[in-house]
């Protein structure tokens, strides 16, 4: 499916993935749940079946999984390396080549 997307669409999806990964809702992503910013990231402790209120994780996990399926784990990591870690495209590609088998094993 990635081949059907242009570079701008891939970049936007990678940015959305990155923003969601930081427990924030992207401003240009429709459908932000009411009260999202006040929700806890996770539910800690107790029986998860008895949760009476949602968490950010419940809302974002499926979105992040779908984005990764559409653009691939590599594009998500590329965005992270360039925008969060300050790496160049070349540095990311070198890292990817060195760690590809490890990273692919976790996707």
Q: In angstroms, how far is the first alpha carbon of the chain from the final one?
A: 17
The encoded tokens of residue 89 equal 């495209």
Dump pLDDT digits (tens) for 46-105.
555 655 678 999 999 999 999 999 999 999 999 999 999 999 999 999 999 999 866 665
Instruction: Give the pLDDT band of residue 30 (cuts 50, 70, 90).
Output: very high
Please tell me the distance from the alpha carbon of residue 63 to that of residue 78, in angstroms, as a whole number.
18
Please enumerate in sequence order all residues whose Cβ is within 8 A of that of 14, keeping only pairs 6 or more positions apart, or say none. 67, 71, 75, 76, 78, 79
pTM of structure: 0.83
């Amino acid at each position: 499916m990635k081949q059907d997307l242009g570079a701008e669409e891939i970049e936007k999806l990678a940015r959305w993935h990155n923003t969601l990964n930081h427990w924030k809702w992207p401003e240009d992503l429709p459908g932000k749940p009411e009260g999202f910013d006040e929700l806890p990231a996770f539910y800690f402790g107790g029986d998860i079946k008895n949760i009476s209120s949602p968490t950010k994780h419940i809302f974002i996990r499926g979105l992040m999984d779908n984005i990764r399926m559409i653009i691939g784990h590599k594009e998500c990591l590329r965005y992270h390396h360039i925008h969060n870690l300050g790496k160049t495209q070349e540095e990311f590609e070198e890292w990817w080549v060195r760690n590809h088998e490890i990273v692919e094993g976790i996707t």
